[in-house]
Amino acid sequence: MSGYSRSPRLLKGAIVAFRPPVPLPEVIPFQINPESLQRTIEANAAESEGGADSFRLAGAPKEVIKVEAVLDASDDLEKGEAEDLGLHPRLAQLETLLYPAASTVIANAVLLRLGTVEILPASGPFTVFIWGKTRILPVRLKSLSITEEAYDPRLNPIRAKVSMDLAVLSYWDLESSHPGYAMFLSHQLVKETMALVGRINSLGSVLGSDVKIM
């Protein structure tokens, strides 16, 4: 019997974090793909006083993606990977995306003691949201909401729900030399191509006959 199966391979959604100068990305796959995600898209309209300028756009729309992921330590326990810590490592991967690196905090504290007048805020990681091959987006993690639902005898969380608010970064937010600039532009080109596939140019398909409205 062959191992061939017609079942499609299930892709995993993920958050990928880049922390220069570390060359390798940190890949945080969703343990269980969320069943749904909510997207809010707001037009980035240019300031205008009416007329033709009312239809001008200052740039790409502002988009926020809300995702709720479920984490369960059952699989890790079967592999012997969560006996001592439960879901702490998985949660820490997400939480530390919102922390400045401890080494930077310590270095800044030393500089302050040495009399440095101005210290720039620490840079966070560059994060990318992956949801299939047609949705690879530079994002900023705005917030996390974690609900721990079950614990082991050592009070390690073994089941949790994590809600994430992700602000999509467009070429409006990034310098042209930043890798996220080209990443978002590619995403928009893919979206425009897909829009062409579903386009209908005949008013007859909605009004029953071709009618001029302009």
Q: Which residues contact 64 (CB under 8 A, 6 or more apart)?
A: 39, 40, 142, 165, 166, 167, 168
Beta bridge partners of 69: 162
Q: Give me the residue spans of the domains in the chain.
A: 32-43+59-124+135-184
Residue 200 has pLDDT above 80, yes or no: no
Instruction: Encode pLDDT of 91-133 as tens digits.
Output: 999 999 999 888 888 888 888 888 877 777 788 899 999 999 8
Rounded to 5°, the CA angle 78-84-86 comes to 65
Q: Prior bond to 121 cis, omega within 30?
A: no
Instruction: Encode pLDDT of 122-175 as tens digits.
Output: 888 999 999 998 899 999 999 999 999 999 888 999 999 999 999 999 998 999
Q: Would you give the distance in Å from CA 26 to the centre of its chain?
A: 14
CA 104/CA 67 separation, integer angstroms:
30
Contact of 64 with 168, CB cutoff 8 Å: yes
- Give the model's confidence band at 25: pLDDT under 50 very low, under 70 low, under 90 confident, else very high: very high
> Nearest-CA neighbor of 35 among 9, 60, 66?
66
